[in-house]
Chain A
């Protein structure tokens, strides 16, 4: 979703590179200090200012520079001045333009106009509109108020890399979250997860931030039965295999979340084969299946298949590396090993069928490739041996001929010496 939004918003932000129109509000507030000057400073960069909107669009009043010296006239209730909007009114205020396709079309026809509708379905919207709870996030909490930037602008609090911190401003604050019955460790867990690693450390904006799983304007916790759909949007192969697996139905009946049950939610770490190792502490199957039960054995079998595949590839790799260090040309073998590693990745995906027989079938190509590479590695090492033997034999011949020649030179030299003495 954000992949479509951001370029459009960025386009909009680039399209408005103009200075905000002068108004009575700006003239007067520029002479004020601190809190009352701050909106003017921030406004200079605001995406709305660049689109020709003025303070009066949200705050009302008379923006004419002619009344700059007359605060009464500028902030006259008769001119519609409403001052600082109440938090509870902010979503509707923003929506007065953003839900109106006719208005939005003038600025960015591709910008959706259903944000308020989505927001109403979110936990935030529910609490605000149904319970009047004004502690929940409203538009300005995530987007800012006077310095709103396009979501594609890396300085924006809703830019993908900034989203976890933006959500965390409330959701990681135990004091603020008190009374809502949800923990505050999600952001910390997320930061330690593979997704957090990819987004925050590797700065891969394709990695999911909070809004990619929870929604942005319609932010809600995914329900148990939806989790596989959420994860499956990116991990569609795993989700597809799981849906057809023997686990799908019992999980649903028992109310177990599909992916989350084994992988966790915010703290998802890189999955390892150790999760299938019946002798290890991370054995995931053992948390539900009794030792030696069919499910337990199935997990153990899958582990054995993957282990066999990995060791075969490792053997091939070590043989080929040895040959390569000795100067042999092994690019073909290396290419095959790389293909075998691809097969290993595919086989690991196959684990989500939870059928060791299927995994066994799937692993065949990879094992065959690894065997092929082992063969090439062995052949390369044999060839190396053959070359060394050939070299040894050649050296013996070459030096025997050289030695014979040297003996001949000595003899000829003596003859020559004698003939010189005689002559």
Chain B
């Protein structure tokens, strides 16, 4: 006991342990009928931690070259003890993380949690979401299989429509005119170094802001939240979080064991593109929309306009807290809510169409 005390005083002298403990002991979660949405952020964080853990393990065997990437993943899937599990967990968890982040983001949007003073929390959150998509895009090519190869070709092609610097951006992403081993090495670098660095920085900022500002209570729920005594974070909320994480872990394990992530055929740049190339589900709505955009709108290229429109919507989404400045005032904010529902409906309908409508090219 004395050792613990000694140790504890060792840390007390060097680190504001008491302040942190005190902060968490006082931390509370408001209770009202939308409290359930508070769990989504933690769920996203849980999947992210799984990504970090499994990602590091995959790094032990993965080789990021066009000659060896496919074979190394194959080796992981067949020869490495529990390699199949780690890779499947990494792939499934990536998808669940994007899904959890998406739900988290929309719930924050509809609950108006981006209101002053949480503008920066929202901006950092949206940027984190974009980073998650970038993780998905860069990670997709790494097994160097046929589907990934051609999907990456289509995906990187899209940046070339950006005015003025489009072609340079394409060269930067691909490391040349075409998708080659250079692209693979480059995307690997982004996936394991650049993106994690940016994500960690933003994540620390995001979590710090959430801690500093506490949970936002949605407009209309303030009265209810005041009536009910908030739930102490320790241990009540955390234990509930843990139950959610355990369920998520069970779900992940089942998906990984029953539906191991496919590896497919090794990419052959000289082979014709296989029919029905589709990106991952979270890019599908954009992919499908671009198919419906007419080839020419006035004198402009339809596809370019479509992609620029998505870019603008992205910027708008990022700046929501600054545009919807007085959510309490009602009128203006109602339009934002309508926009949110329309965006959600658009994403769902377009994604479903991508699955239902036969692919013609």
Contacts and interface: CB of A to CB of B under 8 A. Distances in A.
Given A402-B247, A405-B239, A329 B253 contact: no
Contacts of B240: 409
B260 interface: yes
A420 B263 contact: no
B198 interface: no
Contacts of A408: 239
A331 B74 CA distance: 8
Contact of B77 (A329, A394, A395): A329
Contacts of B74: 329, 331-332
Interface string B243-278: 100110110011001111011000000000000000
Contacts of A329: 74, 77-78, 84, 260, 263
Contacts of B77: 329
Interface string B207-251: 000000000000000000000010010011001101100110110
A398 interface: yes
A359 B171 CA distance: 58
Contacts of B259: 327
A413 B236 contact: yes
Contacts of B250: 394-395, 398-399, 402
A137 B258 CA distance: 71
Nearest to B250: A398
Nearest to B264: A331
A77 interface: no
Contacts of A398: 246, 249-250, 253
A214 interface: no
A412 B253 contact: no
Chain B: interface residue count, which band? 20 to 34
Interface stretch (A65-73, A233-241, A274-282, A383-391): A383-391
A78 interface: no
Nearest to B259: A327
A409 B229 CA distance: 17
Given A329-B77, A329-B78, A416 B236 contact: yes
A328 B254 contact: no
Contacts of B242: 405
Interface in A323-351: 327-329, 331-332
Interface string B67-90: 000000010011000001100000
A406 interface: yes
Nearest to A390: B257
Contact of B243 (A390, A405, A413): A405
B112 to A, nearest CB: 29
A409 to B, nearest CB: 5
Contact of B262 (A327, A390, A409): A327
Query: Taking chain A's interface residues, is the majority helix, strand, or loop, or is none over half, making it mixed?
Result: helix
A401 interface: yes
B46 to A, nearest CB: 13
Nearest to B244: A402
A412 B257 contact: no
Nearest to B78: A329
Contacts of B257: 387-388, 390-391
B80 to A, nearest CB: 11
Nearest to B245: A402
A331 B236 CA distance: 49
Contacts of B85: 387
Contact of B229 (A327, A328, A405, A420): A420
Given A327-B262, A329-B263, A387-B257, A405 B78 contact: no
A391 B253 contact: yes
Contacts of B232: 416
B253 A409 contact: no
A327 B254 CA distance: 13
A390 B235 CA distance: 31
Nearest to A330: B78
A409 B239 contact: yes
Contacts of A327: 258-260, 262
A335 to B, nearest CB: 11
Given A328-B260, A331-B263, A402 B246 contact: yes
Interface in B159-197: none
B243 A402 contact: yes
A253 to B, nearest CB: 54
A37 B64 CA distance: 72
Contacts of B78: 329, 332
Nearest to B261: A327
Contacts of A387: 84-85, 257
A420 B232 CA distance: 12
B73 to A, nearest CB: 9
Interface in B261-320: 262-263
A377 to B, nearest CB: 13
Nearest to B263: A329
Contacts of A332: 74, 78
A416 B250 CA distance: 29
B253 A395 contact: yes
A395 B254 contact: yes
B77 to A, nearest CB: 4
Interface in A271-328: 327-328
Contacts of A401: 246
B85 to A, nearest CB: 8
Contacts of B84: 329, 387
A91 to B, nearest CB: 49
Nearest to A423: B229
Contacts of A406: 243
A124 B276 CA distance: 57
A128 B274 CA distance: 58
B246 A412 contact: no
A57 B84 CA distance: 79
Contacts of B236: 409, 412-413, 416
A394 B256 CA distance: 12
Nearest to B85: A387
A329 B235 CA distance: 43
B262 A412 contact: no
B258 A391 contact: yes
A399 B254 CA distance: 12
Given A398-B253, A399-B246, A409-B240, 20 more contacts: A329-B78, A331-B74, A331-B263, A332-B74, A388-B258, A390-B257, A391-B253, A394-B253, A395-B250, A395-B253, A398-B246, A398-B250, A401-B246, A402-B243, A402-B247, A402-B250, A405-B246, A412-B235, A412-B236, A416-B236
Interface of A: 327-329, 331-332, 387-388, 390-391, 394-395, 398-399, 401-402, 405-406, 408-409, 412-413, 416, 420
The 3 closest A-B pairs by CB, nearest first: A391-B257, A329-B77, A402-B246
27 contacts: A327-B259, A329-B74, A329-B263, A331-B74, A331-B263, A332-B78, A387-B84, A387-B257, A390-B257, A391-B257, A391-B258, A394-B250, A394-B253, A395-B253, A398-B246, A398-B249, A401-B246, A402-B243, A402-B246, A405-B242, A406-B243, A409-B236, A409-B239, A409-B240, A409-B243, A412-B235, A413-B236
